[in-house]
Amino acid sequence: MNLEQRYSEAIDWIHNLGRFGIRPGLERVAALLEYFGNPHHSLRFVHIGGTNGKGSTAAMLASMLKAGGYNIALYTSPYVLSFTNRMAVDGSDIDRRSLVDLVEKAQPAVAEIGKDKKLGPLSEFEVVTALALTYFAQREADLVVLEVGLGGRLDATNVITPLMSLITNISLEHTDVLGDTVEKIAFEKGGIIKPGKPLLTAAEDPAALKVLEERCREEGSPFFRIYPPRFQGEPAVGEPSAVLESVEEDGQYFSYQGFSQSYSNLFTNLRGVYQLQNAALALAATEQLEREGFSIPEDDLRRGLSQTVWPGRLEVLSKKPLLIVDGAHNPAAIKKLSEALPHYFKYKKLILVLGILADKDIEAMLKSILPLADRVVFTRPLLPRAAAPEDVERFARSRLGLNSESLVVQDHGPALIRALELAGPDDAVVVTGSLYTVSDVRAFWEKHLGQN
């Protein structure tokens, strides 16, 4: 069997583990890591949780550290382009042979653990987390930037002890698993705070901040708040924080005032004011990491920040017409997207391509984004738990009074083509609702339509 066949079988095996669903707890992943020799014990980590912005913050932090000359590992989920995106070292995704070798080595242990009645079968995320940590140890990473999958306290990534924990923000999500109040969700996400290890958070909700501060007091962990970004000329609220200087075609310039460092004229190609808060959190983390021996010269820090690549977040694929993909998948993220679109882009009409998962707060998401749309194409990602687009359209018309022209196109490829046909050269097509929708559409675009 050649490598491509082995890779295909390995990916199918991993995804088949998804049938076991979301299973909070650390016992199963700990058992698999023990089989691999507890590779995480030899690594150092920055652990990143939160509702939105985890991946962007992780990508910026990893890019700055890499530019500083460190061998940095990055673990994120879900992926946008390829499964191998989820685990990278020194800016390069895991190669297929390494992934296949790890999967084939893990399979007997996964089967054995699954027979243990006290443990039960491992989930997809648990296995992938163990594979990633093993790979990072093999590659002797200087530091692992590790993104939480779901929640924090019982998330598979929480088997590690980090140098510090970062929590981007906190809002209602996955209420069936994490709880139905901000306080309950903050408690779960605050579970990544470790005794004596600093917490840096960009959370704004007072109730969430209260929970996180209390957890830090209990653990003896230093608590640092990153304050909301602001526009140039507005009064300072607190530090560390970022200030938007200007919006350019390919990104934005901003300044940063931190614990002891300050920078002006910083550039990021990640758009949206909310990305400045993520950048401020990442920059604050670099300041804290200096105490752990990770020093980044200013020129390298600037270069790493400007070169951060994080697809599927206000990403522009085409300019005539404007084609934007954004993986906003919950009410808070959709609200941020809705605020950013008219501020960062110029267009006459907006054609929205919308594909949402059934377990999301669809009503709240629609209320934010639909008022911006002149036309809506309802579609779905290639996922069993995707919401039926005809049901979403029916709901939008009957419950929300959708006035825009709309149509249903089941397949994401034809949905994109139809949206582009509806758009004039000065219009914008925005694809959103789920990272899975963005992943599917982006892959279709690259394969069939090309870039301009």
Q: Is 319 in the same domain as 297?
A: no
Among 256, 275, 306, the domain boundary falls at: 306
Q: Is 167 in the same domain as 63?
A: yes
Q: Is 115 in the same domain as 261?
A: yes
- Count CA atoms closer than 13 A to 285's CA, side-chain side: 32
Domain CATH for 105: 3.40.1190.10
Question: Which pLDDT tens digits describe the chain residue by residue (452 residues)?
Answer: 799 999 999 999 999 997 656 677 899 999 999 999 999 999 999 999 999 899 999 999 999 999 999 999 999 988 888 999 999 999 999 999 999 999 999 999 999 999 998 999 999 999 999 999 999 999 999 999 999 998 899 999 999 999 999 999 998 766 555 667 999 999 999 999 999 999 999 999 999 999 999 999 999 999 999 999 998 888 778 889 999 999 998 999 999 999 999 999 999 999 999 999 999 999 999 999 999 999 999 999 999 999 999 999 999 999 989 999 999 989 989 999 999 999 999 999 999 999 999 988 899 999 999 999 999 999 999 888 899 999 999 998 887 777 778 999 999 999 999 999 999 999 999 999 999 999 999 999 988 886 54
Q: Is 185 in the same domain as 238?
A: yes
pTM of the entire predicted model: 0.93
Q: What is the dihedral of CA 427, 430, 431, 434, to 10 degrees?
A: -170
Q: Is 227 in the same domain as 343?
A: no
Domain CATH for 349: 3.90.190.20
Domain total in the chain: 2
* Pairing label, strands 375-378, 350-354: parallel
Round to whole Å and give the CA distance between 429 and 323: 5
Q: Is 257 in the same domain as 364?
A: no
Among 306, 336, 353, the domain boundary falls at: 306
Q: Is 333 in the same domain as 259?
A: no
314, two tokens: 């206000």
Q: Is 274 in the same domain as 352?
A: no
- Provide the domain limits for residue 356: 315-449
Q: Is 291 in the same domain as 424?
A: no
Q: Is 295 in the same domain as 437?
A: no
Q: In sequence order, what are the residues at sequence separation of 6 or more whose Cβ sits closer than 8 angstroms to the Cβ of residue 370?
A: 352, 376, 396, 400, 402, 404
Round to whole Å and give the CA distance between 411 and 389: 10
Round to whole Å and give the CA distance between 389 and 367: 16
Q: Is 136 in the same domain as 277?
A: yes
Among 267, 285, 306, the domain boundary falls at: 306
Round to whole Å and give the CA distance between 186 and 72: 28
Q: Is 72 in the same domain as 8?
A: yes
Q: In sequence order, what are the residues at sequence separation of 6 or more whose Cβ sits closer than 8 angstroms to the Cβ of residue 443?
A: 81
Element housing 406 (H / E): strand 405-408
pLDDT score for 452: 47
367, two tokens: 């209320």
